Structures are given as C-alpha cells and as structure tokens.
Amino acid sequence: MFAWGEPIAAKELSKATGYSYQEVLSLLKEMEEDYKFYHRGINLIRMEDHYQIATNPAYAEYIEKLITPQKHKSLSQAALEVLAIVAYRQPVTRSMLDSIRGVKSDHALKTLLEKNLIEEKGRMDKIGRPILYGTTHAFLKAYGLESLEDLPPPESFDSTIL
C-alpha cells in the first residue's frame, strides 16, 4: 500500500496477496486500529471499499516543515455548484446540470474532471447517449468522507440547487 500511493480496493488487495476478501478486511481493520491506538505517524483511511495509507494529521506541522505544500487553486463558485449537484444527484448528465443551474456547466465540468473530483460513470440509454457523471474516490478523500452517506443532508442547506 505504501508503494501504490493511491486508494486501492480491498478486492485488489485480496487478489494481490492471495488472502480471502474477509481476511483482507480483517487485517485492514486491525491495521487501522493499531495505527490509532499507538498514535502512529500514519493512518489507514477508508473511502467506501478503497483504502489508503496517509500521514496522521496530528503530525502535519512536522511534515509541513519537511516539504513545501503544493498550492492548490481553489474551485470557482460554478465548479462548487456543479460538484454539489453531482455529489447529491449522481449520476447526472451535462444537460441535467445545465437545467438545474440555468447556465452552461461545460467549463466547471472540465475543471472537475481535470482535478479528478468527478468522472464518467457511463452513458444514459436515450438518444445521443449523453455521458453520466459521478464523484470519484479523490472527491471522498478531498472532503474527508468515507462514503456519500457522510454528506450532510440536503435539507441542511439554504439552497434550491440540490
């Protein structure tokens, strides 16, 4: 998992190690608990059925001293709107997004695809076969979510977009 660097599915770990899926899940749970109990410098984070080793946030100040953090350009208001709609209503097409927002969403979609926060999830079975978009594991990681169920309920927002 250290060498992989990206979230990896438990099924992939099972195939790679020869352990059963249940054994892998048990070992991952044990690793996660061990890292937390002993306040290790790393954590095992879970994003749906994917896992990744990451630096323990408690040691962030030391890591910041060692490396220069990359400057990430924040998302525009339009990109945030599109991302919220995709997260809550996925899978969605570009025309659905445009209809909800009342304006074109092409640029925001392109930005979110480039940042790997959304991805193509397939095509709708209708004339023109429009692309369906949904969120990625990178989205879950970026917003500290294990799954989409961890999103705040839409009723908690003072908005008509969702």
Report the distance separating Cα 91 and Cα 68, nearest Å. 37
77-156 shares the fold of 8-66? yes
Which residue is listed with tokens 């599915």? 9
- Considering the chain, what is the average pLDDT of its residues? 89
Q: Model confidence over 110-159: pLDDT tens digits?
A: 999 999 999 999 999 999 999 999 999 999 998 889 999 999 888 777 65
Q: How do the domains of the chain map onto residue ranges?
A: 8-66, 77-156
Confidence of residue 65 (pLDDT cuts 50, 70, 90): confident
Query: Confidence band (pLDDT; 50, 70, 90) for 4?
Result: confident
Q: Global pTM?
A: 0.62
- As a CATH number, domain 77-156 is 1.10.10.10
User: Which CATH architecture best describes the domain 8-66?
Assistant: Orthogonal Bundle (1.10)
**pLDDT tens digit sequence for 7-35:** 999 999 999 999 999 999 999 999 999 99
Q: How confident is the model at residue 68 (pLDDT cuts 50, 70, 90)?
A: low
